[in-house]
Amino acid sequence: MADAKAQKRQKFEGVYPILRDELLAYMKQEGMPEDAISWYKRNLDYNVPGGKLNRGISVVDSVEILKGRKLSDDEYFKSALLGWCIELLQAFFLVSDDMMDQSVTRRGQPCWYRVEGVSYIAINDSFMLEGAIYYLLKKHFRSESYYVHLLELFHDTTFQTELGQLIDLITAPEDHVDLSKFSLAKHQKIVIYKTAYYSFYLPVALAMYMCGIPHTSSNDPYELAQSILIPLGEYFQVQDDFLDFAAPPEVLGKIGTDIIDNKCSWCINTALALATPAQRKILDENYGRKDAEAEKRIKALYEEMGIRQKYAEYEEAAYKRIMGLIQTIPEQPSGEGVSLKREVFKVFLDKIYKRQK
């Protein structure tokens, strides 16, 4: 199993240098100076390929499931290209997010803006990561009937993610704790806009367009997919928030910092909804403080308030609800063409249900 996963990743990674070299060739063709070309190469190599690549690979997986067969070399390349466009989008968000948050490390190395000689140039570098998406889409998809749908999807999703980021930034600034701004409703809004659209809906919708699934005036398959993937993305982020508090660092692979960083997390919002006045006072006095003892007091209060149990209840309810939504997808009609398949969504759900990291 792990071997197949590693092979799949390796094959996907094999497409990256081809796309990077196309971007660099374009710069050369435009007569850009060598130092600008090598700067862009370093920007791309540093920021794009290093993550888990889940979003990108899920485009390929979804296309395979929808087509119900192994992909031709051209189909693989095009679906992987769309996957790498999501990874470029992710890199654009992360490079700029890290500056906004004044973060120190990302994926186990210094954040790009903290690399010697980069600093504020990273702002323009992030724009260039975003620009790469549209260069590649135009080069490889301009003649496809669904080209404009791809453009709209990337533009809409990008704007939605930025809206989510705005709400997050003004709700939970790291240097100013005000828990009265927090609520589960606001948490849900942030999560849906900042994470669910680009991490869950975008990869599947790209795969659907590539497979030629059409929009319909009633029971539109894209609306159906969105109605399942947005709750799925919400569940994923709630789980992420819970693991930040509850998973041991050696399992999680990083040290959770949501409490110290004043994050608008599911845990604090659940605690706020349940807190007695005395408990609320402890939350107000200790949340978002750069102080290990304050963090310990919050964690002890979470335990005392039964946040683990609340999460277990949330997880079961979310799983049942999402499974119920998946069952509303009609089983394969024997008609022409590719149509939506339950399997696409089950694969996502199975990857995240009861995960430990």
- As annotated, the active-site residues are 52, 92, 97, 101, 106, 168, 194, 236, 240-241
What is the rounded CA–CA span in Å between residue 168 and residue 186? 9
Report which of 59, 84, 95, 185 is spatially closest to residue 135, judged by C-alpha positions: 84
Report which of 200, 197, 189 is spatially closest to residue 54, judged by C-alpha positions: 200
3-state secondary structure at position 50: coil
What is the rounded CA–CA span in Å between residue 151 and residue 133? 9
What is the rounded CA–CA span in Å between residue 160 and residue 137? 20
Question: In the numeric block, which tokens belong to residue 293?
Answer: 């003892």
CA distances from 289 to 231, 292, 297 (A): 31, 8, 11
Strands of the chain (E only): list them.
105-106, 109-110
Cα angle 37, 98, 301; round to 5: 160
What is the rounded CA–CA span in Å between residue 154 and residue 85? 9
Contacts of 201 (CB under 8 A, 6+ apart): 157, 225, 226, 229, 230, 233
Question: In the numeric block, which tokens belong to residue 224?
Answer: 């159906």
Question: In the numeric block, which tokens belong to residue 303?
Answer: 């335990």
Contacts of 266 (CB under 8 A, 6+ apart): 184, 187, 237, 238, 241, 242, 311, 314
Contact assessment for residue 134 and residue 151, using Cβ atoms and an 8 Å cutoff: yes
Question: In the numeric block, which tokens belong to residue 257?
Answer: 């910092």
